[in-house]
Chain A
Amino acid sequence: GAGVSQTPSNKVTEKGKYVELRCDPISGHTALYWYRQSLGQGPEFLIYFQGTGAADDSGLPNDRFFAVRPEGSVSTLKIQRTERGDSAVYLCASSLSSTYDEQFFGPGTRLTVL
């Protein structure tokens, strides 16, 4: 079956611009996670959704980052006033429910802020 998909695969933007990154989880998965992966590092947790609600957004670095999942399926990560330090690969993962369920990762969106 289809895995987690993310669009776009690459996004180049200028400092100060607004970007949206989309995640389409595996059908039927109620849990959705966003991670950020900087070059040479492991993924870093950003936010976790259970259904439509953000159950844990403790990993968001600051208030320029926001994510939504209005219908409990597709999620959008939104970054305002982008900074060069936001450049990274943004990974989305989904799991059947939550605790102890395997997290399936998408291919990521590589964000470059010039």
Chain B
Amino acid sequence: GENVEQHPSTLSVQEGDSAVIKCTYSDSASNYFPWYKQELGKGPQLIIDIRSNVGEKKDQRIAVTLNKTAKHFSLHITETQPEDSAVYFCAASIGGTYKYIFGTGTRLKVLA
């Protein structure tokens, strides 16, 4: 069945450094890839997304890249700040649908 793998499971960086989280997906029909940030006790919040017709998207300090051939997509956070500390989830749509398969999450710690 469809699967999304996410690495690393935990990531610690110094404040100001960059953080990169990588995901791979199995469903070649997936065409929408959102990234969510989840803080303790809260629901996931969309931070950026990308559709399969583009290879890169940037929003201030956050960027996402997509390699459809390799079925890889990555989240890049530059100039990290302590408030970036949270669990980040990647997801891939199943085909062209609303149904998402989520990765297992990356716990990011930004050390001041």
Contacts and interface: CB of A to CB of B under 8 A. Distances in A.
**SS class of chain A's interface: helix, strand, loop or mixed?**
loop
Nearest to A45: B99
**Tier of interface size on chain A:** 20 to 34
A51 interface: no
**Tier of interface size on chain B:** 20 to 34
B44 interface: yes
A103 B97 CA distance: 12
Contacts, number: 57
Interface in A28-66: 31, 33, 40-45, 48, 56, 59
Contact of B43 (A31, A48, A95, A106): A106
B99 A56 contact: yes
Interface of B: 4, 6, 32, 34, 36, 41-46, 49, 51, 89, 91, 96-105
Given A40-B105, A41-B105, 13 more contacts: A31-B98, A33-B98, A41-B104, A42-B91, A43-B100, A43-B102, A45-B101, A48-B98, A98-B98, A102-B46, A102-B49, A105-B44, A106-B43
